[in-house]
Amino acid sequence: MDDFIKIRFTNDFGQIASQLEKTVENIFRSTRPMFADAERAWKPQMDIYETPEEIIILAEIAGVEKENLDVEISSKAVKIYGKRTEMSRIENARYMLAEIQYGRFERILFLPSPIDPEIVSASYVNGFLRIRLAKIPLDKTYKITITDG
């Protein structure tokens, strides 16, 4: 078993869902029971907080195997996606409550400050994914060489 979380670095996430797509998705989600379609997308709860040196993302994704989890990072955003497989149902059982969501998930989180995509760490413990991103110091200055011509 692999002890690493897959992290990909990118410059652009390309097709980020439009507001219309999100609205249509929410309309269909409200008309179907939560457990009717195991392939339906769901959105795990996440927190973003920052210190003077870093931005921390905490994602609640209990039941997701690390092999089914991916993280992509650019200097402006983080995309977390994967799949939680449904647990076996008990035969001859009637659901009285079905709130646990299964299937694909995806979250794109735009960051409050620029980060250095080279300095990233991630851990997955007790159903929580924690991603630590180093912020780029805004007070850092660069000297530029002026050439002739």
Rg (C-alpha) for the chain, rounded Å, is: 19
Q: What is the pLDDT of residues 126-139, one digit of tens each?
A: 999 999 999 988 77
Which two structure tokens, joined as six digits, stand for 37? 């379609």
| CATH code of 51's domain | 2.60.40.790
Would 91 be classed as within a structural domain? no
Torsion of Cα atoms, 131 then 137 then 138 then 140, to 10°:
-160
pTM given for the model: 0.67
Residue 94, pLDDT > 90, answer no
Cα–Cα nearest to 101, from 17, 44, 52: 44
Domain that holds residue 118: 6-86+97-135
Q: What is the pLDDT of residues 49-66, one digit of tens each?
A: 999 999 999 999 999 999
